Chains A and B, each alone.
Chain A
């Protein structure tokens, strides 16, 4: 349940960075941000900042390196929220 909600929130963040020819529906749990969704790699830092704001967490450089797919991001978000609790 919680992960569905996180996916929805993440999707709302990611859709802003999609190129014109990629639809929001293309965002799946296993989508790779750069290779499949064609997101400019420079925008990954913006996605990280948006995630920090939306979830009230802080991501480090190594978290960002691990964040290749939507799934990777969801795992990192869940871990950070766990630590926060």
Chain B
């Protein structure tokens, strides 16, 4: 295995053809950049595919925010691009539903699950536990290619005549089960289901590897309690995925049966469009909701746990202090992971659930506030009197904590079934989950990208653009989502195409314009991040030292541009935990340094 291979920029599967020349090493172009089994390359493939999806998903939100903010505006250029989807320069209702559905699907699954876990689990696990690669590099490669196939199918559904799936990202039956019920339940829905089935396979294959690498491939001396918190976060994430995604798949299989084999798992007593009486009997759409949310709730933790780990690690490095409450951090991650399986029905309080059962789920839901509060407390105390270096990565960590608090507090409101009766399916809910798992997860992801970019490409990202990116994103996020709480209080429901028909919502016309303006601005500033990312791959300031941030973990003991196998010689041995900052008068002590005779143990 060659360790001196310079990592060539441009690893995305989409731009491979331009770089075909100029390689003089024994890995062929195809095994190095396309069907690569190197965890670092697979991580970059996930990251760049995720970024492409994020741009598409973000652009969709811009389009439907145009409709929501400026319902009377006619933009003929929309018709030029989207044809009959935007007749007379206005988005049609069908197109609007397709947009919100695909925005949710893309962001939740393709960006914040695959793009996030796929990137950081692949990149950090072998590095930080001290392994040459994943337990099974081949399965790891398959994981990316299943994701890629899922991406291609979902992308193709955007181009079919009847449009992509359009029943909301949760695709509840009966709407999603009946092709005659709406445009978005025709072939687009089938493509959606097939794509998501492949996605589940991808995330299972990936998850198996992450868990077995962490548990079996740790280097000498790397006990579980010497693992960085990133690894703990990723471990629980992978476990959640392994246990919950198969249940989602079983729900999808039954839905496919209902769509194509005329079964009645989810269907009963339906009159379609007021005329056609369907023969289906004995099914229950609530069954789908149970199967869906049994995944759906762990899914939101699949999104947030990796970023919790990333934020803990990046924050500790940049305040030059040990993370506060390392054991409490692990325990609270565990508690969140465990509770996530016991709260799914809080998404279903208004489905006619037995109120006693509802109260059990209220209790379990509110219990999650305890470990979440422990984590927030620990982050704040880590910041307390720290010697903070305000790098872009660090700012995004602080932004993450801010978002997590603002969005998390409203979770306590929504977790109460009595309040949920009023707030359910309103903009209050939109504001809650966008802050706590949308923007917060993005902030954690950005923190990770800015922090580990030097390890990925041997160059730094531009700081000035990073600061602009952070501040505009933070301000826009609050301008977009804070007012939505008020709209939700007033009962404004989500997913509506046009609110101007209701006297009570007309008061929000100007507010909606502000929100739309901020949404468009925040989309544009994300493009500056994309520019910064690709520009820095080629032209960024070069990294000259193996440990540019003065961190303690193992990835910074590898060469600046590590080859396949990560370490040229032996894998280093680990002697201490990863948070020895500011100890015994030294700024930081690497994990590889043996504990001195007269050194106090942590």
A binds B: no
**Interface residues, chain A, with chain B CB atoms under 8 Å away:** none
